[in-house]
Amino acid sequence: MSLLSAIIRVTVLCALLRLAVFDVRWRRLPTTATLLIAALFFIDALVIRLPIHDVLAHLLLALAVLVICAALFAAKMLGGGDAKLACAVFLWTGPSLALPALAIVSVIGLGVSLVSLATRHMAAEQRFPPLRALAMFSGTRGVPYGVALALGGGSVIALPLLAMR
């Protein structure tokens, strides 16, 4: 992996972490940040000279994820920002890492959902900082599933960085 590709991936990880925090605090995922993450995939594909058939496979997977997430959004089971972020994350993972990414996102999502359920009656005005941070996960405002997408997707996107020497 080239240094430029590593820089792109670290930038994506930073953007994903920022989105996770944003989702916890405001329950919103800005479209511009999601588009940046998706656009950086194409730049990285050029940098690493990803064959066009692989880029198309990544695009087809992202399209399939978008269709599934759009159906979940229509059923009011997923937020629109989460649907767009899932599309961008799976654009990065591609078919070969889609199942590991889905498994990691699902496990983290389960944790986020359980914390949201457990804190649904917590008052937001906590004096103790760790409790105040925990209260931000309260399920009364919805589950911040962008956290699971960001952390799970980011872990798969970061895999090639671990192989760098």
Q: Which residues contact 85 (CB under 8 A, 6 or more apart)?
A: 19, 29, 34, 37, 146, 149, 150, 153
Number of domains the chain contains: 1
CA distance 54 to 76: 33
| pLDDT exceeds 90 at position 164 | no
Which range, of 9-13, 71-75, 119-123, averages the lowest pLDDT? 119-123
At 102 the pLDDT is 98
Assigned token pair, 128: 């103790």
Mean of pLDDT values over 145-155: 97
Residues 37, 145: Cα–Cα separation, whole Å: 17
Secondary structure letter of residue 78 according to DSSP: S
3-state secondary structure of 151: helix
1-36 per-position pLDDT tens digit: 899 999 999 999 999 999 999 999 999 999 999 999
For residue 53, give both structure tokens.
Answer: 């058939």
pLDDT band at 60; cut points 50, 70, 90: very high
- Please give the residue range of the domain that contains residue 25: 3-162
Q: Which of 53, 52, 57, 50 is nearest to 160 (CA)?
A: 50
Over range 64-68, report the average pLDDT: 98
Q: pLDDT at residue 145 above 90?
A: yes
